[in-house]
Structure formats: C-alpha cells, structure tokens
Amino acid sequence: MAKKDINWSELGFGYVKTDKRYVSDFRDGKWDEGRITDDDMITMSECAGVLQYAQTIFEGLKAYETNDGKIVTFRPDLNAERMMDSAKRLEMPEFPKERFLDAIRRVVDANRDWVPPYGSGATLYIRPYMFGINPVIGVKPAEEYQFRTFVTPVGPYFKGGAKPITVKISDFDRAAPKGTGNIKAGLNYAMSLHAIVTAHNEGFAENIYLDPASRTKIEETGGANILFIDNDGNVVIPKSDSILPSITRRSLAIVAEKYLGLKVTQREVFLSEVFEGNFRECGLCGTAAVISPVGRINDHGKEFTFASGMDEMGQTTKKLYETLTGIQMGTVEAPEGWIFEI
C-alpha cells in the first residue's frame, strides 16, 4: 500500500473519486448492517423522495495524517449528533452515533492511501449523507433511506488559501427564523446557489446572510460560520437560532479561551457594528474553510476593510488557525476526546 500519486499541494476543493465508500440501507423500519463497496453509482426510482422533495441531509468532516504518521479525524461524534438532529427535523430515521463512527472509521481505513501526507496542505474530506430513496409522490417522508459516506482529498476551500477574501452582504435570505438553517440539509444549499453564482459573478468570494426578519444582524455565510476579533483582541461570535452550529466554530471558541486566554462572547452582532469599526479581524470558519480570513465586507457598494487588511491573515485569526490545525495534525496537544485515531 502506498500513497496515491497525486500532486497534493495543487489540490483545490473538488471531488476526486476514491476507491471505497460505505453504504447502509434503511428498510422495513431498520438499518441493515452496512458495507464497504467499490460502486460509486446509485440506482433509484424516478420518483425517489430525495428527487421530488429534497429529503436529504449531509455532514462534512476531515481525516488528517499527523506529524507521527497516524490517521485521525476531528470530533466525529459531534458530526454524528448533528446528523441525528438534521434527520429529526426532516422526518428521517436517525443513523445511530456508534454506527456513524464505525462508518467513518471503515471508510477512511479503506482509503488510507488517499489521505494526503502530513504537511502537504491537503486533507481528506469525508462526506456522510442520507436521503429518501423509495417513490414518494404525495408530500410525506420516504419510508426507505440510504446512508452513504465517501471521501475525497481536498485543498483549500477558497482560492488562495490564507489570503483574505472579500465577501458581500447578500440580498437573499438563507434561513427563516424557524426554518432549517440550524441543520445540514441539502435544501439550504440549493437555495443558496443563485446567491453564490451572483456573488462570484460580481467578484466576491462568498455571501454574508443577514437575519431575514430585520436584515440588520449578521448570521453566517453559505458554507461557514463567522467570527470577529474586536478591538481588544477578543472573540465575538454571532448568535442566532438559524445558523448551523459549526463544529469548527465551537472548537475555536474553546481554543480561544483555553489555549490563547481570550475572552469569547456569543451575542447578536449588527452589521452596523462592522461599519462602526468595532472589529479588527474577521474569519469564516468551517470544516472546508478551516478559518478563512475576511479582509473586506461589501454592503451594496459600501466597503469596510478590516484593520488586518487584504494581504495576510490577522494576528489573532492566525493564532487560532495555527492552534486548531496543530491540534488536528498532532503538533499541539488536543483536549480529551477531540481526536479519533483510525
């Protein structure tokens, strides 16, 4: 067994078909025992629930090669729990936590050669997902489901990696106050596609969505939570019931407090505060994004450039980034229970 012959440091965030994936079927009210397969194709009814009414949820996490050659994943138990929350909200059966962890372990183990080498800048992205597969024509939940997990080696989510990006305030809403913004459902991403294409066409890397009720408070972006560093160097995290509870952001809050001695506040954050200059750094955080520095926010032509500027990551963002990735890659001691060795 040898690592695949890939130019790891050139990888972007894309799909590469790897050797093995995990599949389990839910029929007659129960999950089967699950299996690893070579088959990357799915055959289903033309009327499958997922195709008609978008009954699909997913997760995203990564496997890393550490400095001493181990393969690990980061807090997969939290992905398992979040997927159970997503399933409940869309009337899908829960995939049990122990089964989820077993699936991750088996699929990463079966694709060890695809785990990018330590120090290459790339990681192995793991995508668990579940969808309604039997025919559904009246609006109701499916009765049969498939849970699958594949992996794909990835590089940085945003072009340029650690280079600050410019994001726009979107005219579209991402999630209604009592909608599905706090779960990881495909439908949240389908409705963001027009907004992201529009943002890209205008030269922006991402959209910041505001709270739809008042359009004054910062929620999150299409694929990551947001955090700010205030002028005292402390961390401020937007609070809302309709943003995805990011595992990266929750972990960074602990890293900031316990490793860097920073104060962390989670509260409503108004867009006006950004333009008043209350924050000196801003970052987008998520599994894919890690922490991507935001250099500038554009609100309908009105621009605010953070003190950290457009050339490099802000000082505090950089410390957060280095500590978190150090924990993930084994160079910084992890809090108990954060690292799962494969």
Q: Write the interaction track for ligand PLP spanning residues 194-223; mark x where CB under 6 A is met and - where it is not.
A: --------------------------x--x
225 contact, one of ligand COI, ligand PLP, none, CB 5-8 Å limit per kind: ligand PLP
Q: Residue 203 region, left (φ>0) first, then alpha (ψ -120 to 50), else beta?
A: left
Is residue 60 involved in binding ligand COI (CB under 6 A)? yes
What is the closest distance, in whole angstroms, from the C-beta atom of residue 170 to ligand COI in the complex?
Answer: 16
Give me the residue label for tokens 């316990």: 258
Binding segment (CB under 6 A) for ligand COI, from list 87-95, 165-173, 231-239, 282-290: 282-290
- Angle (CA) 235-315-14 rounded to 5° is 85
- Residue 147 CB contacts under 8 Å (≥ 6 apart), including other chains: 23, 24, 25, 26, 31, 34, 95, 103, 128, 129, 130
Q: Figure out which of the listed residues 149, 287, 308, 328 binds ligand COI, where binding follows CB under 6 A.
A: 287
Q: Closest CB to ligand COI among 136 and 290?
A: 290
Is residue 223 involved in binding ligand COI (CB under 6 A)? yes
Binding segment (CB under 6 A) for ligand PLP, from list 33-41, 66-74, 150-158, 242-250: 242-250
| Positions in 49-68 near ligand PLP (CB under 6 A) | 60
Which residue type, as a one-letter code, is found at position 207?
N
246 contact, one of ligand COI, ligand PLP, none, CB 5-8 Å limit per kind: ligand PLP
Which pair of structure tokens corresponds to residue 77? 């138990």
| Positions in 253-312 near ligand PLP (CB under 6 A) | 286-287
Comparing every residue's Cβ against ligand PLP, the nearest one is 286
Is residue 116 involved in binding ligand COI (CB under 6 A)? no
Residue 153 burial by Cβ neighbours in a 10 Å radius (0-12, 13-18, 19+): buried
Q: Residue 186 region, left (φ>0) first, then alpha (ψ -120 to 50), else beta?
A: alpha
Is residue 218 involved in binding ligand COI (CB under 6 A)? no
Q: How many residues bind ligand COI (CB under 6 A)?
A: 5
Q: Closest CB to ligand COI among 223 and 238?
A: 223
| Residues forming the site for ligand PLP (CB under 6 A) | 60, 220, 223-225, 244, 246-249, 286-287
| Residues forming the site for ligand COI (CB under 6 A) | 60, 223, 286-288
